Each structure stands twice: as structure tokens, then as C-alpha cells.
Structure 1
């Protein structure tokens, strides 16, 4: 079984998705969720224009205070009410903001999320590319 690698080539493609799109913010930091008003967004939340996920929605992002288009991490959330599993990008998030996002996404019993931090290794098989 081949090991799944968290490598620089994957993150390069993720950054390209960001750089080739515009960012639209739906919920500025401090905004309340439209349906669940007890949920307050810890950072700006929006989406990348001209992108599409398997469900037909744009790719969603959490944008932190650092001014960058570099994706720091991915969050994968599973929601049993919506019956979905979604990947979201974290852009320009410092450690405190990343923790706040994870607390935000994991505060209910209906949704849980995991964090995948950016890797920087280039796998051996890619050294000839």
C-alpha cells in the first residue's frame, strides 16, 4: 500500500486555485451564521470564485489576518445534518486563528472537522519531473 504524502506539489496546485480566483467574503469576522445564530465566525469566511467542488458549490475559505494567498491548511468537516463532507481552505491564518476555526467547526455534536497542515516535502518519485 502506497503511503499518502502531504507534499509540496499538492500545495502548489491548491495555491494555484487561489491565485487563479477571486475571494468573495460572505461572513466577515464576528458575523453570526444565518441559520445558527449562536455560531460566530472567528475569521472572514467566503469562497473562491470560478471554482467548483464535487457538490457543485464553490471552494470555501477561511481567511485570517495575514495578508497572503498561500493556503496554510485544509479543514475537512463531516456534517451529519447536511449529510456531507467538505474541504475548506485556510488562508493567512496564524496559530490562534487556526485554533479558533477548529473550535468553531467542532462545537456541535452534528459536525466535526480535522485539520491538514501544509507539507513541504517533495516525494522521491517527483524528483524527475
Structure 2
């Protein structure tokens, strides 16, 4: 059986860290707040975006902010949203492994599916 190969470029993660260092994170949905359209959903962590950036949906890069003391990008979610018929990346910043797993689960509900890439 052929062994699977995985590729990782440390410069990729450093580039993401640099974007966050150079830009400001704006938290527009703090932990405990309700989603503006889906009122039953309450954010378990801070959620916002990185100012002056662009994602594939034309908006700023979305970011989930965890509670880790390690202030760096800890992962990325690649989301496919069948309701909006799009895909986009969401940055996971300062998230613990448990927090990343919870965010991954949230983003695999309803009409969405996600893949999690951990640093």
C-alpha cells in the first residue's frame, strides 16, 4: 500500500500570522451573541473578521477567536455553503484543539460542510 503524503509549508502559517499582526481583528459577533439571521444559534466564541482583507465572497476574511495564550493562527476551515452556493476560508486564531473541534462541528451542520486544517 502506498503511503499518503501530506505537504506543509511553514511560510504559509507565518504569512497568515503576519496578516493578523498587520491588520486589526474586528469582533462583530462576541461570544454569547445570537446570529443575526438564525436567532437560535449562539456564538460559543468570539467571531469577526480581519479588517482590510478579502475573502472569496468579496468580504473580509472571517476569523474565529479562541482562548489559547498562543496568539497565532492555529487552523483554517474551508467551508462549502450550499445555501449560499459558495466556498470560503475561515481563520482560527488562538484556538485550542477542543475549540477547533467545536468550531469544525458547528460548520458541518445544516447546509454547510467544512474541512479543518490544523497548524
Structures share a fold, TM > 0.5? yes
| Counterpart selection for 2:53 from 51, 75, 79 | 51
* Number of corresponding residues: 115
Q: Which structure carries more relative contact order (alpha carbon 8 Å, separation 6+)? A: 1
Runs of at least 5 residues in structure 1 that lack an aligned partner in the other structure: 119-129
1:15 aligns to what? 17
Contact 1:70/1:91 (<8 A) preserved: yes
Greater C-alpha Rg: 1
Q: What residue in structure 2 maps to residue 114 of structure 1?
A: 115
Deviation at 1:66, TM superposition (A): 2.0
Say whether the 8 Å CA contact 2:80–2:113 is kept in structure 1.
yes
Q: Which runs of 5+ in 2 are unaligned?
A: none
Question: How far 1:68 moved relative to its partner?
Answer: 4.4
Dislocated runs of 4+, deviation >6 Å: none
* TM-score normalized with structure 2 length: 0.89
Q: In 2, Cα distance between the equivalents of 1:101 and 1:58?
A: 19
- Rounded to whole Å, the distance in 2 between the matches of 1:23 and 1:50 is 10
After superposing the two structures, state which structure 1 stretch, 97-106 or 72-81, moved more: 97-106
The answer to whether the 8 A contact 1:30-1:42 is kept is: yes
